[in-house]
Amino acid sequence: HDRAHVGDELATVDDRLEQHRRSLEEPRAGWKTWVADDEGPVGFAVTGPSEDAELAAVDHGVSLALRVGTLLLAGGAPTEDVEAAIFAVGTAVGLGTFEVDITYGSIVISVAPDNARPGLTDMRVVRGRSTHYARVAAAHQLVLDLAEGRIPPSDVERRLSDIEHLRRRRAACALEKHA
C-alpha cells in the first residue's frame, strides 16, 4: 500500500468514528429502522411520533410471542408446537401479517410492513434446552387462554414471568435419604 493511500483510509475511518460518536450524543426521537425497496436496503429512517406507538405495540407483541416460543423450545416442545403457539400469540396480540422461522437454537419473527409502519424482525437465541414439562404445559395453557380470549393480552407478561420461575418438581423418592 502507498503510505498516502493508507493515511486517507485512516482519515476516512476516523471521520466515520467521529460521526458515529456525535450521532450517539445527539438525542434520538423515535426508532431507527432500515428502509428497503425491491432492490435491497437503501438506508435508515427515523419514524415520527405518530408511528412510534404503533411500532412499539408491534415490538411488544413480537417480544411476547418470542418469550412464549423460547419457553416452549427450551422446555423441550417440538418445533411444530412452538410455531403454532407463536402464531396463536401473534394473532391474539394483533401482529397482522407475520412469519416465523425456528431452528434448533433460534426463533425469528418478521412482521410485514403495514401502510406507514415499517416491517420489523426480531430474533431470540435459545441457549439451554432441557425437558421441563411444567413450563411447557403452563406455556401451552397460557397460549390457549390468550387465543380463546380468557385472558387479556395485558396479563400475558405477568403469567410469562410466573412460568419462567417455575421449578422442577422432584419425586418424593428422589428426596429421601437412603441409608
45-66 tens-digit pLDDT: 554 444 567 788 888 999 999 9
Buried-exposed string 124-140: b where 16+ CB fall within 10 A, e elsewhere: bebeeeeebeebbebbb
Q: Phi first, then psi: give them for residue 38, nearest 5 degrees.
A: -65, -20
8-48 tens-digit pLDDT: 444 566 666 666 555 545 444 444 555 555 555 545 455 44
pTM as predicted:
0.67
DSSP character for 140? H
